[in-house]
Structures are given as structure tokens and as C-alpha cells.
Amino acid sequence: MNESINKKFNTIILASASPRRKEILREAGFEPLIVRPKCDETLPENIEMCDAVMFLALKKALWVEQLLRSEDKCYDSPLILAADTIVYCNGIIGKPIDKADAYRILSLLRAREHFVATGVALIDPQSGLKRSFCEVTKVFFKDYTDDELRAYIDTDEPYDKAGAYAIQGTFSKYTDHIEGDLQNVIGLPLSRLLAEMNML
């Protein structure tokens, strides 16, 4: 982990219940405090891909900041980190609501490219400084069969993932290649995140 970051922010408050984001931060040497935001995630109409994820990430971070202030909680050198990930292919794709929706989404993504966008918001509650950014990765899927697709959606893996797949899980065998940051597809673009943290 970058030593200057370690000295500046002693407490990372992760505004997300995503086990994948928590794991990425832990592998980087952080031990995040999890606070799950409970805010409305409705998007404005006709919002663009990157604007959408940055909008939601900032909304989550601000919700947590307000919670900390309302409960008068103080942490030593805290940083609030929120993120939101979507898949984009002819429109914004979130998490599937059921098996039929997972089948529809993965049928749409089959044998073609799509984009994965993660928006990240950072708030330093002590200084009031805020930063947000969007990282985009292009993902190319193979031409998997209907039987392979049905077998996959019969597992538990697709249902808490944007785009109905986990690129680091069993669906990795159906990924042809990517252009960009793999960790961004998993849920948190760590390299970009560390650079942005250094700017606060």
C-alpha cells in the first residue's frame, strides 16, 4: 500500500456491502469499515453511463457523511469511499431481478462487446474535500450456448452482479478478452482509486 495514503487516511469507510470491493481494499492493505447506505438509487431520465455511476456513488457517500454527522461519530483521519458499477450495452444494465432477467441480459451480451463503468466518490469529512471519477472497461464475450447460459443462471453467481455475471468467477471462461482494468469489472478500479486518494 502507498505509505503516504496510509498516513493520511487511517480509517476507510466503505459505503457498500459488496464483498468484492471489500476484498480488493483488503488486498491493497486497507481494513475498511462497512456502512451500507440506504438511499434512493433512482436515476434521472436519459442520464449518460458515466454520469449515472458517479451520481449514485456520490449519493451513497453523501448519505454516509450525513449519517456520521447526525450520529456525531468521529474517526481518526477518515475517508468515505462509495462506488457504483453498471454494465452498458444499448442502455444501462444493472443487476438481474430474477432468472428470466439474467437470461435476457446474458443473451444480449453474448458474442459481443459491452462496457463496464464504475463510478467512485471520495469524501474527506474533516476537510470537506470531495472527488468523483468514472473508470470504464470494455469486455468481450464469447458465443456461449443456450445450455451453457441456462446452467450458469441456475447457480447463485449472477444475481448480485451488474450484468448478471462475475468475471472473476465461473463465467470467466466465457470472456474472450477485456480492454482496460480487470478490477474495475470486479467492482473497484484500485489503481485509479489510489491515484485519486493522493489528490485529496
Which pLDDT value is given to residue 74? 79
- Domain definitions of the chain by residue range: 3-197
- Encode burial over 77-116: b for 16+ CB neighbours within 10 A, e otherwise: ebbbbbbbbbbbbeebbbbbeeeebbbebbebbbeeebbb
Instruction: State the helix-helix crossing angle for 146-153 and 99-109, rounded to 10 degrees.
Output: 140
pLDDT band at 4 (very low <50, low <70, confident <90, very high): very low
Taking Cα atoms as reference points, which of 174, 157, 170, 156 lies closest to residue 114? 174
Looking at residue 161, what is its pLDDT? Answer: 93
Catalytic residue positions, numbered? 84
pLDDT at 17: 87
Higher pLDDT, 177 or 3: 177
CATH of 3-197, one of 3.30.70.1560, 3.40.640.10, 3.90.950.10, 3.90.79.10: 3.90.950.10
**Residue 168 scores a pLDDT above 60:** yes
Query: What whole-number distance in Å separates Cα of residue 190 and Cα of residue 19?
Result: 15
Binned at pLDDT 50, 70 and 90, residue 73 comes out as: confident
3-class state of residue 153 by DSSP: helix
Supply the pTM of this predicted model. 0.92
Rounded mean pLDDT of the chain? 93
* Per-residue pLDDT reduced to its tens digit, 187-196: 999 999 999 9
- For residue 177, what are the β-bridge partners? 140
Cα→Cα distances 99→109, 112, 152, 171, Å = 15, 21, 10, 16
Q: Quick one: average pLDDT of 3-11?
A: 65
Q: What pLDDT score was predicted for residue 7?
A: 55
Mind listing the pLDDT tens digit for each residue in 125-160? 989 999 999 999 999 999 999 999 999 999 999 999
d(CA 199, CA 155): 41
